[in-house]
A and B are shown apart, each in its own frame.
Chain A
């Protein structure tokens, strides 16, 4: 049997090591998202594919992390087929529901068109019927609902109405149940949080803060132009400071959407959060570039390379301020719900989509992204899901992902963006080597090393 060096390896430049004379590198095998520190001598042997010169232990480790693979293997085919197998094996039924078309905020970059519509009684029944019908085709062990916006907490009445019905459905099919909420945080009062967790099975909440008050309020203001940061942050503090917060079983992550107008406020926001001792209370803090929402919002975003460079600074700022974020990507066999045949997005009008970025956005209103509407009868909902073939398209070399070393850890990025001609590569593609160097420093010298690098 013959072997070859996998195409899916990222290797840093040489790193000096004060404790030993040999220079080292970090190898990251993206097929397994596993890393290994190797000497330059070993790196040289790998480059020459001199397998008989490798110590058995090194060879076995490299083989185990799939940095070395069988020579005959067509790797991209393997990766895509593994992704597809993972999707087929998934026994969790994931559905996204937008209980209302309303949002209190008027963010400039948002592409959604908000209105006061809520999911009505008939639509609720049809949505339940639609979700129920999925159990006839596959055996699930878990039902997961994401309450998504507009602003889902404006539709709290719908969440209250639908949750017990979904829970009952899950129980009837021997499934466990949980849900998550992606919210602007304005209505996330302490008692609402407790209700969501204790009554509605919410286990994850994501709140958006676009920087400190000055920057956040300049973009995430109400439709009437009123500030929101202090209200949202008070809500968060009330929740985080509950003595039982950690035992309630619901995590809260903070997302910071950035473009060139607010990127300078990311570090101050990290410092602000740290000053309130939230390091071990926030599950995860992350920065996301503004993307196209059927509009041109992304044009004000940083170039990907620049964003990637800034991201390293933001990671270091987190370490300096006592946060301990992970930064190496894991494997991503399921890029998003669009590539799963059973996940759907339901909006407040009863429209059905296969992507969370398309509801309430005018430009997608009469496109194939609208699979149908539950009011027109469930049988009229299209079986054709335009983004479902994304993995096949990657396998057929239709996107640069087919040759990209990062494919196993990014899954290809947003399928819709690629369709629209927008490069969907995540920041990891541009800063993975820097992240590997941080990983090396962390491994060698502990968390102090990262805080010092920042200083």
Chain B
């Protein structure tokens, strides 16, 4: 046994699950979260009359209900609510800002229902329409909708993933992340407004960054043999930003550790940093830990200290992670295969 491998044994022996959860990470899409919603509501109130606001809130609420039903896989009931609200929307003049405001909720909702019905091409077209629809509103002062546009990039990414177009999906995520972190304009669509992006609170920007990152990481676990390629397509060169929040600092650290793994230059350094990350980081980042565990098993295999006993310790640690079972299962299956190989 090489002496510089001993620290790994010690680190694995001392591995403890950090259950602490700072609760900063929103579940679901941010555009249904409070910060975004509150800002948008405030802007709308200044823009439309009280009576118009009642109608708008009713219609938005109805599109939201239709979305909820679709998410519950109640597609007929979703379609029914959609038909009801479309009939009301048809009473509005399509050439008015009010109509465009209605479409802020309508277009992504309709796209989601199409997505659930596997009409991917039509869904993508509506998501692009949603991105276009926001442009005039942003120019009219609805700066927060810049995040709505980024959300549609995420939705397009989901469409690609669902169709198995992993690299295309990863590339969309990359564009969205580079826009958020470096303010590099996405190649998709036009009229991106850096000024609007900057106007939103850091917390929203940070939360959007996390939303865009964490979900693909779960997907990539199911394609672990392609992981390097997918990682590069989605997350390459994302280690040059200044974290504005503690969550961003965690993400930055994870990107750096993953890059270290894929460079494959210093196995022990990777193991040291990865094991430290998985023991210290809070449970809201468990998906990041799970992703690293797959890499840790690969790296451990290359050391002189790899034994079943340590492998089992890693597996036991993984079982505590608060991540969807499907992600956990696929990761642990991979880890077992590494052991057997």
Q: Which residues of A contact B (CB under 8 A)?
A: 1, 3, 51-52, 56, 59-60, 63-64, 70, 72-73, 78, 81-82, 84-86, 88-89, 91
Does B244 touch A at the CB level, under 8 Å?
no
Given contacts A52-B51, A59-B54, A70-B58, contact A1 B88 (CB under 8 A): yes
* Complex interface: chain A residues within 8 A of B193 (CB): none
Report A-chain residues with C-beta under 8 Å of the C-beta of B77. Answer: 82, 85-86, 89
In the complex where A63-B58, A78-B84 touch, is A1 in contact with B91 (Cβ < 8 A)? yes
Query: In whole angstroms, what is the CA distance A60 to B56 when docked?
Result: 12
A contacts with B: majority SS: helix
**B276 interface contact, C-beta 8 A:** no
Q: Which residues of A contact B61 (CB under 8 A)?
A: 64
User: Do residues A85 and B79 form an inter-chain contact, with CB atoms below 8 A?
Assistant: yes
CA distance A78 to B77 in the complex (A): 11
Complex Cα gap A376–B220 (Å): 54
B244 smallest CB distance to A (angstroms): 36
Cβ–Cβ contact A1 & B80, under 8 A:
no
Residues on A with C-beta less than 8 A from B57 are 60
Closest to A83 in B: B80
A59 contacts across to B, CB distance below 8 A? 54
Q: How many A-B residue pairs have CB under 8 A?
A: 48
The CA-CA distance from A64 to B60 in the complex, in Å, is 12
Name B36-89 residues within 8 Å CB distance of A.
50-52, 54-55, 57-59, 61, 73-77, 79-80, 83-84, 87-88
- What residues of B have a CB within 8 angstroms of the CB of A3 in the complex? 54
Are B80 and A82 closer than 8 Å at their CB atoms? yes
With a CB–CB cut-off of 8 A, which chain A residues contact B79?
85
16 contacts between A and B (CB under 8 A): A1-B54, A1-B55, A1-B58, A1-B91, A3-B54, A52-B51, A60-B57, A64-B61, A81-B83, A85-B77, A85-B79, A85-B80, A86-B76, A89-B75, A89-B76, A89-B77
The chain B residue with its CB closest to the CB of A54 is B54
* CB under 8 Å from chain A, chain B span 67-119: 73-77, 79-80, 83-84, 87-88, 91-92
A85 neighbours in B (Cβ, 8 Å) = 74, 76-77, 79-80
Q: Which residues of B contact A (CB under 8 A)?
A: 50-52, 54-55, 57-59, 61, 73-77, 79-80, 83-84, 87-88, 91-92
Asked if A72 contacts B88 (CB within 8 A), the reply is: yes
In contact, A72 and B74 (Cβ under 8 angstroms): no
If A1-B55, A63-B58 touch, whether A70 touches B76 (CB-CB below 8 Å) is no
Closest to A68 in B: B58
The residue in chain A whose Cβ has the minimal distance to the Cβ of B51 is A52
Considering the chains assembled together, what is the distance between the CA atoms of A440 and B52 in angstroms?
34
CA distance A70 to B58 in the complex (A): 9
Report Cα–Cα, A73/B59, bound state, in Å. 13
| Bound-state Cα–Cα, A91 to B77, Å | 13
CB distance from B65 to the nearest CB of A (A): 10
A1-B59, A85-B79, A89-B74 in contact; A73/B54 too (CB < 8 A)? Answer: no
B52: A residues at CB distance < 8 A: 1
Interface centre among B59, B75, B88, by most A CB within 10 Å? B88
Shortest CB-to-CB span from A383 to chain B, Å, is: 21
Contacts A89-B74, A89-B75 given; indicate if A70 touches B88 (C-beta within 8 A).
yes
Q: When chains A and B are docked, how far (Å) is the Cα of A82 from the Cα of B85?
A: 13
**Shortest Cβ gap from A65 to chain B (Å):** 12
- C-alpha spacing A59/B75, complex, angstroms: 29
Residues of A within 8 A of B55 (CB): 1
Taking a contact as CB atoms under 8 Å apart, the answer to whether B91 and A88 are in contact is no
Interface residue from A72, A81, A86, A91 paired with B91 (Cβ < 8 Å): A72
A290 CB, nearest partner CB in chain B, Å: 36
Question: Other than the known A60-B57, A85-B80, what 17 A-B pairs have Cβ atoms closer than 8 Å?
Answer: A1-B52, A1-B58, A1-B88, A1-B91, A51-B54, A63-B58, A64-B61, A70-B88, A72-B88, A73-B88, A82-B77, A85-B76, A88-B76, A89-B73, A89-B75, A89-B76, A91-B73
Distance, CA A85 to CA B76, complexed state (A):
5
Closest to A91 in B: B73
A89–B76 CA distance with the chains assembled, in angstroms? 6
Give the nearest-CB partner of B69 in chain A: A89
Return chain B residues, CB-CB under 8 Å to A78. Answer: 84
- Contacts A1-B91, A82-B77 hold; do A73 and B84 have CB atoms under 8 A apart? yes
- Complex Cα distance A86/B88, Å? 22
CA distance A32 to B87 in the complex (A): 20
Which of A59, A84, A89 gathers the greatest number of chain B CB atoms within 10 Å? A89
Q: How far is the CB of B41 from chain A (nearest CB, A)?
A: 12
Closest Cβ neighbor of A70 among chain B residues: B88
B51, B58, B80: the one contacting A81 at CB < 8 Å is: B80
Cβ-closest chain B residue relative to A141:
B73
**Complex Cα spacing A85 to B72, Å:** 14
Q: How far is the CA of A51 from the CA of B53 in the complex (A)?
A: 13
Q: Which residues of B contact A89 (CB under 8 A)?
A: 73-77
B226 to chain A, nearest CB (A): 28
Bound CA–CA A84/B54 (angstroms): 29
Residue in A closest to B84 when the chains form the complex, CB atoms:
A78
Task: Tell me the smallest distance from the CB of B148 to a CB of chain A, in Å.
Answer: 22
With CB as the reference atom, state the residue of chain A lying closest to B57: A60
Contacts of B84 in A (CB 8 A): 73, 78
A125 to B92, CA, bound (A): 58
Compute how far the CA of A88 lies from the CA of B51 in the bound complex, rounded to whole angstroms. Answer: 36
CA distance A390 to B83 in the complex (A): 22
A73–B50 alpha-carbon span in the complex (Å): 22
